[in-house]
Structure 1
Amino acid sequence: MWITVESTVAASIDDVWRAYSSPEAITQWNAASDDWHTTAATVDLREGGRFSSRMEAKDGSMGFDFAGTYTKIVAPRLIEYAFGDRKAEVEFTETPERVNMRVTFDAETAHPIEQQRDGWQAILDNFARDAERS
């Protein structure tokens, strides 16, 4: 099952693309709630390139690596990637004053659909707020 989340960013498409693909920026926005953060990120933004984000609870109780391989890059419009046996795509659509973003991902079976949608939406909303400040 595929899940889609969307957000709008009041910035140029080049600024949005850079913020979405910069390891330094990712550590600023990549969290679904205030009690989590991304402590490290790597990006090799090319088809076949790898990415990784280390996500940890701020209290140190747990953490995990979100990692995968880029499968298609069409700068600054589209990023597709695989993570484990799942896939996702990020679409960037420019309008005169903003960028509409759509993230579509393959749901997993361990957590409820609503929880997955809410988590990915929260991360995308954090991204939009951070990108508009930059």
Structure 2
Amino acid sequence: MKISVSVEIAAPVEKAWDAYVSPDAINQWNFASDDWQCRDAKVDLRVGGKFSSHMEAKDGSFEFDFEGTYTNIVQHNLLEYSFGDRSARVVFEQVGDSSKVTVEFDAEDENEVEMQREGWQSILNNYATYVLEH
């Protein structure tokens, strides 16, 4: 099953793209709630290149690495990647003076679909806030 989340940002698509693929930016927005953080993001932005983000609860109770491999890249328009046996695609669209960013990903079996949708949407909302503030 595919899950889709999206956000519109009052910024040009180039700015939205840059914030999505810059390790320094990713460290600032890639978490679903304020009690989590992302550190040590790495991006090798090329087909076959790897990416990773070290995610951790601020209280040290849990941590994990989110990592994958880029399978298709169209600058300022599309990122596709695999992570484990799942895949995702991120579409960047210029809509007037704004950017629409849509993430579609394969659901996993451990958590409810709505929980997954809410988590990924929260991360995308943090990303949108970051783009607007920087």
Bin for the TM-score computed over the shorter chain: over 0.9
Q: Which amino acid aligns with 1:11?
A: A
Question: What is the alpha-carbon distance in structure 1 between the residues aligned to residue 95 and residue 46 of structure 2?
Answer: 25
The code of the aligned residue for 2:132 comes to E
1:71-110 paired onto structure 2 within 5 Å: 71-110=71-110
When normalised by structure 1's length, the TM-score is 0.99
Post-superposition Cα deviations, 1:39-93, rounded to whole Å, max 9, x if no partner, equal 1100001100000000000000110000000000000100000000000000000
Rounded to whole Å, the distance in 2 between the matches of 1:113 and 1:13 is 29
SS of 2:33's equivalent in the other structure is coil
- Structure 2 letter corresponding to 1:58: K
Aligned residue pairs total 134
Corresponding position of 2:59: 59
CA RMSD of aligned residues (A): 0.5
Q: Residue in 2 aligned with 1:20? A: 20
Calculate percent identity across the aligned residue pairs.
53
The SS at the match of 1:117 is helix
5+ residue gaps, structure 2, are none
CA distance in 2, matches of 1:2, 1:16: 23
Which 5+ residue runs of structure 1 have no aligned equivalent?
none
- 4+ runs deviating over 4 angstroms: none
